[in-house]
Amino acid sequence: METEIDFYELLEVDRTADDKTIKSSYRRLAMKFHPDRNPGDAESEARFKAVSRAYDCLKDPQKRAAYDRYGHAAFAQAGHGNAQAGFSDIGDIFETIFGQGFGGGRGAGGARPRRGADLRYDMEVTLEDAFHGRDADITIEVSRNCDPCDGTGAQPGTGKRRCTMCEGYGKVRAQQGFFMVERACPTCDGRGEIVESPCQHCRGEGRVDKPQTLDVKVPPGVDTGTRIRLAGKGEAGPNGSPPGDLYIFIHIAPHAVFERQGTTLLTRVPITFTQAALGGSVRLPGLDDEGIAITIPAGVQSGEQLRKRGEGMPVLQGRGRGDLVVELTVETPRKLSSRQKELLREFQETETGAECPDARGFFERIRDTLGAKAK
């Protein structure tokens, strides 16, 4: 059988060497035995790999502690040699050194309580509710601790016994080739205990479905996708284990006037062509129950946007508000009286082209292009 060289000897350091000394020695040896410096030298290449493996172990405090205690056996692959005489995996080694639960292995305390499942509830709120915030009551059907057995799953007056299959750990292990596979104990369903006389009300589960009404505080500024967590309001854990959490996912209902983008409110306001030409003002309803006055500058074009600072949505869990953006669309009149048509014709006769420079420039470019082609 091949003898493993001690990692400290490979790195030419004492067992009490600090991290800096180990790192320095590794760099020196790696440079000395690097294959690029020793082309075709199989011995140097093997030494380089051995030094690298030693450093990979000793540079990690947890691996080094395991190596100091168990030597090379700490990292021997499960399935080689007498597996039952030693450790099944590295988790067992770390667990022995650092205490229960390291790496998910077994601990001295047996099976861990299984926490109840987290639950999701989708709540639709209006844009006004998202602006002001609100308190809402919701009723959901969720499993809670069984009252007759107080969540233990055992008939009142009876108890539980330790599972002999897993010895109270809640998990069993089986060898599969080179690997050790761990799974929940099929006898106790991972609980580590057996209920002798199951509770008739919950059939030994320790929980039953019950409707519960909860108060949800919706803060100002929430948006679609905002998540509100209610700790301990999820599904009860089996046999008295801790409950999960309830997550409220917010969805903002469509609004008749405003569209939302983050803290910015957008709205499209149609105006007459006389308002666009002469200017004016419009008043919009605000989410804060107060009107918002919008001043329309003379000569505004369709599609132009006006911004009102601080008239948007409040910042979630912060200060201030976003902006309101108003996009103006100029509406061309569809029905005109005879007098209105007459007035427009009079206006048309007085046009010089300077009133609408974009239109004038466009047709001038067309005329110039056609004239150049004619020549």
Which residues belong to the annotated binding site for Zn(2+)? 146, 149, 163, 166, 185, 188, 199, 202
Per the annotation, binding residues are 146, 149, 163, 166, 185, 188, 199, 202
CB of 160 closer than 8 Å to CB of 152: yes
Residues in contact with 74: Cβ distance below 8 Å, sequence separation at least 6, in sequence order? 63, 66, 67, 87, 90, 93
Q: Which helix (H) or strand (E) holds 24?
A: helix 19-33
∠ at Cα 169 (168, 170), nearest 5°?
95
The amino acid present at 161, given as its one-letter code, is R
Enumerate the β-bridge partners of residue 182: 173
Closest CA to 91 of 157, 152, 181, 28: 181
Q: Are 316 and 219 in contact (CB under 8 A)?
A: yes
Least Cα distance to 240 among 179, 152, 331 occurs for: 152
Beta strands in the chain (DSSP E): 119-125, 134-145, 160-162, 171-176, 179-184, 193-195, 207-218, 227-230, 246-252, 259-261, 264-272, 280-285, 291-296, 305-308, 324-331
Structure tokens at 117: 């499942």
Would you tell me the crossing angle of helices 61-70 and 90-98 to the nearest 10 degrees? 90
Q: Identify the DSSP state of 47.
A: H
